[in-house]
Structure 1
Amino acid sequence: NWYVRRSRERFWAKGMEQDKINAYMTLYTALVTVAKAAAPMIPFMTEDIYQNLVKSIDASAPESIHLCDFPEVHENWIDPKMEEDMADLLEIVVMGRAARNTANIKNRQPIGTMYVKSEFQLSEFYKEIIEDELNVKEVVFKDDIADFISYSFKPQMRTVGPKYGKLLNKIKTTLSELDGNKAMAELKSTGELKLDIDGQEIVLLEEDLLIDMAQMEGYVSESDHTITVVLDTNLTPELIEEGFVRELVSKIQTMRKEAGFEVMDKIRVYAKDNDKIVSIMKNHDDEIKSEVLAEEIVTGETKGYEKEWNINSEKVTMAVERI
């Protein structure tokens, strides 16, 4: 499913370029191979898939998927480094989405920058995928994110008290004076935090600590043991306007579907009753038309399938008409 969504632009490319052929053949090969591998477990569903994808276009193919050879493993197709990079990428994307949810910013609203601190680096190829997935203009890998996040520590009384009762106040004072970011790095890497109290080594585990994370205003972060992501949630007027454009495209696509238009039908788009929305549509005329297969955007009137929308608290009446 992720591959299909990520390859959408390749499938929709004009003409029949080699990249488009590669995308279709990769999907076709994956579907047929998975169907053959799954045939013993889901015999009827895979037989239906096989008849649709293979037998319908190749009369010489075996009559049934259950008469085909079981798929062979192609060791030379395996790329462990790519699999590792994609696993890291997915973890960053999941955390980025969580940060968006925390900030209550919809995925259609572009964000300027996301900072990533991790034990690994990803090439520009993978960074561009992250940017596209999270609708972020730029992903920046950083060794230090202390500018955006700071940590402070207090002792957990119920665990530290019984172990170091007499030293509790001194432990509390020492923890309050620590460089929070360095202490957090030590805790994550070793699983413990060591303190020197009057010449005695005190070892505190994560369960012994109350950890408070402070974030700079305008930034939201998510963190696990190896990765921290920080979203810059400060939205410029340009980013906000681009968010409106994405919402408009989504609404028009919804109207196309509700109106019963075919995927490749050319349309005319109408909008009225909101000067701000009308202005944005005029400013991004070519971009919107390209996304929704529209020949023309008409403002101030409506024809065809009409609907009223509330887009980011802006009410507007829109319509679509098949040409």
Structure 2
Amino acid sequence: MIYYAKNAWYIRTTSVRDRMVELNQTINWIPKAIRDGRFGNWLEHNVDWALSRERFWGTPLPVWTDGHGDFLCIGSIAELETLCGRSLGEIDLHRPTVDDIVFQHPDNGREYHRVPEVIDCWFDSGAMSYAQWHYPFENHDTFASHFPADYICEAIDQTRGWFYSLHAISTLVSDCVAYRNCVCLNHIVDADGKKMSKSQGNIVDPYDVFDHIGADPLRWYFLARLAPEAQKRISTDIVAEVASSFINTVWNTYAFFILYASLDDVSLDGNVSDAKRPEIDRWVLALLYRTINLVTTALENYDARGAGGAIETFTDQLSNWYVRRNRRRFWKSETGADKQSAYLTLYTCLDVLHRLMAPFMPFLADEMYQNLVRSQQADAPISVHLSEWPKADPNWRNDELLGSIAVVQQVVALGRAARESSRVRVRQPLSRLLARLPDDRTTQAVIHHKDQILEELNVKTLELVARDAELVRYHLKPNLPRLGARYGKLIPAIREALATANGPTFAAAQAQRETSILTVAGQEITLGPDDFLVETTAAEGYSSAESEGFLVALDTRLTPALEQEGLARELIRTVQDARKQANLEVSDRIFLRITGSLDIENTLGVHRDWIMKETLAEKWVEGSIDGAFSIEHRLDQHNWQIFLARKQMT
């Protein structure tokens, strides 16, 4: 490649450089760093725009010359028609026909020909704000109502392309910005972060994603899972994970409602006032109120990822807390205000949820809309995309209740972590949960919701403790990367002082992000919360977990009665699995028989009625069951066999 210095046509953008920099400060950039970083630096070091190109294709440069140093820039077709004395309406004003337009100047009589250059194509893209309305020749009102644009969106390389050409032309022509908001995206690459290339063989065929996974999971991944500035790594496996996690959760929650609403032939006309709904209904509506506001605010600020995060958080709470904790309200056969409230609340949540998702996942949202809304309301808009955006009902707001349930969930999460570390099975009941709480507010929340916590953790009793000496032991160590340079030779003494310091006091200070005073070799030194490390071990017979001032411990010692109840829960689970394997409907009643080892028989003697109730067993059969589905199970030293058959309706 050989470079030549050649004459070219320029736009003197340096004359408005300071104004472009000033106007750039008024644009809302997403991410914000682009404004003063990549784009701002480009503007501050602006050079004149080399406008012309020596090519055949492109918009012809509208400059005519007499060949002796005089040039005319033509401003409109009408001006050119006046100069050449004929209509140009039937002529394609591109090369080569535009080069045949020659005229004699009325003032000097010399013949003028068009210069051979065409215009940089980026000028075309930058002029689109004006060109799309044929402004300033017509459509003045239309142009005024559409300019500047509310937002534009492109990849980061356009900071020197389209973003710049729009900004430069609008500054020169209108002395204002061309766009108010700009979403600047990073590039799409393969799963390993490499640029896609045919020669590398790492191109992801979008139709493989569309056909096998769907377009909506891909849209959700790009919009809701990744920040604009994040590298867009893509593969079918990555998109499949989105479908198998979040989207499956949405669909399963929706399917749960559809299944039981159809079985009960539920009517959504009978309202239950908010004040009369159970606390858990009021909680999820309060969470819905907050979610609508969060999503709306985020999208109004072009924060798609923030909006998506709020939707995913709500979906997780709706499925894994509200629906899970309320299944029995939908399962029970009797009707009433409580069951109606459950249906109305879940319907409201799903109705809002699919509308919030619509800008992200248009196909899934519309599928839900057609079934949830259009099937019930003949006069509803034909698509969710023509319906109203959800509005948060002020009556749903309840920040105090949201705070209380957040405390409950914090305690439950720590209890689950403690159980996991103890390796005691989830279905095994335990006798005691001991909890130390950071303040009066959290204490009252736990007391008020004690039954929920015990049910969630499968524990019999809850005890609040002021001191945790019997629950956990602390071991304090210096954080050497932080303290080494500051104290040098004093580190061994600091290590020794921390080993004998009051562990609970230092741990509590760290949890509250407060400083601690440590006496070392006769002097006091101040330690920040990141200057030392806290290791904990549970006392014998307990399993504990701690975070942010909360500490919970499970008494893991088992009595024969607890072990027997745990075995009964395992029997219930395996019968439910057998129902699925036998292809029974969720509402089918069954005949049931279980046989097994001595411990199994003893457990059945105590818990048979409970097992039958939980598994919809209409009758316990001691002998054989005609046409029964059977399956065997083993757990530790226990073994049992299940026989079940659908009760035939008469």
Does the alignment reach a TM-score above 0.5?
A: yes
Alignment of 1:114-263 (within 5 A): 114-119=433-438, 120-121=442-443, 122-155=445-478, 160=483, 162-165=485-488, 167-168=490-491, 170-197=493-520, 199-205=522-528, 208-209=531-532, 211-263=534-586
* Structure 1 contact 271–301 (Cα < 8 Å) conserved: no
* Structure 2 contact 543–555 (Cα < 8 Å) conserved: yes
Query: What's the counterpart of residue 65 of structure 1?
Result: 384
Amino acid aligned to 1:41: F
Amino acid aligned to 1:184: A
Over the residues paired in the alignment, what is the CA RMSD in angstroms?
Answer: 2.4
Q: Which has the higher contact order (CA 8 A, sep 6+)?
A: 1
Which secondary structure state, in structure 1, belongs to the residue aligned with residue 639 of structure 2? strand
* Distance in 1, Cα, partners of 2:633 & 2:456: 26
Which secondary structure state, in structure 1, belongs to the residue aligned with residue 587 of structure 2? coil
Residue-by-residue CA offset, 1:121-150 (whole Å, 9 max, x unaligned): 215442222222221222333322122112
CA 1:7 to 1:190, structure 2 compared with 1: closer, same or farther past 3 Å?
Answer: closer
Residue 12 (1) aligns with residue 331 (2): yes
Pairing partner for 1:45 from 332, 351, 364: 364
Query: What's the counterpart of residue 76 of structure 1?
Result: 395
Which secondary structure state, in structure 1, belongs to the residue aligned with residue 382 of structure 2? coil
Residue 305 (1) aligns with residue 305 (2): no
Between structure 1 and structure 2, the one with the greater Rg is 2
Which secondary structure state, in structure 1, belongs to the residue aligned with residue 335 of structure 2? coil
* Greater shift in the superposed pair: 148-157 or 34-43: 148-157
CA 1:165 to 1:293, structure 2 compared with 1: closer, same or farther past 3 Å?
Answer: same
Amino acid aligned to 2:397: I
* Structure 2 contact 407–446 (Cα < 8 Å) conserved: no
Alignment of 1:272-311 (within 5 A): 272-299=595-622, 304-311=628-635
Q: CA deviation at 1:271?
A: 2.1
Q: CA deviation at 1:164?
A: 3.5
Which secondary structure state, in structure 2, belongs to the residue aligned with residue 7 of structure 1? helix
* Distance in 2, Cα, partners of 1:68 & 1:111: 50
Residue-by-residue CA offset, 1:42-63 (whole Å, 9 max, x unaligned): 2222221111112223323333
Q: CA deviation at 1:240?
A: 0.9
Residue-by-residue CA offset, 1:96-134 (whole Å, 9 max, x unaligned): 111111001121111111122222221544222222222
Normalized per residue, the structure richer in strand is: 1
Which secondary structure state, in structure 1, belongs to the residue aligned with residue 621 of structure 2? strand
Alignment of 1:104-115 (within 5 A): 104-115=423-434
Amino acid aligned to 1:195: L
Residue 268 (1) aligns with residue 591 (2): yes
Pairing partner for 1:88 from 407, 423, 439: 407
Pairing partner for 2:418 from 99, 123, 127: 99
Which secondary structure state, in structure 1, belongs to the residue aligned with residue 378 of structure 2? coil
CA 1:252 to 1:183, structure 2 compared with 1: closer, same or farther past 3 Å?
Answer: same
* Structure 1 contact 271–300 (Cα < 8 Å) conserved: no
Identity across aligned pairs (percent)?
34
TM-score, length of structure 2 as denominator length:
0.47
* Greater shift in the superposed pair: 34-43 or 297-306: 297-306
Structure 1 alignment gaps of length 5 or more:
none
Structure 2 alignment gaps of length 5 or more:
1-318
Query: What's the counterpart of residue 286 of structure 2?
Result: none
TM-score, length of structure 1 as denominator length:
0.90
Which secondary structure state, in structure 2, belongs to the residue aligned with residue 284 of structure 1? helix
* Structure 2 contact 366–384 (Cα < 8 Å) conserved: yes
Q: CA deviation at 1:13?
A: 2.1
Amino acid aligned to 2:372: L
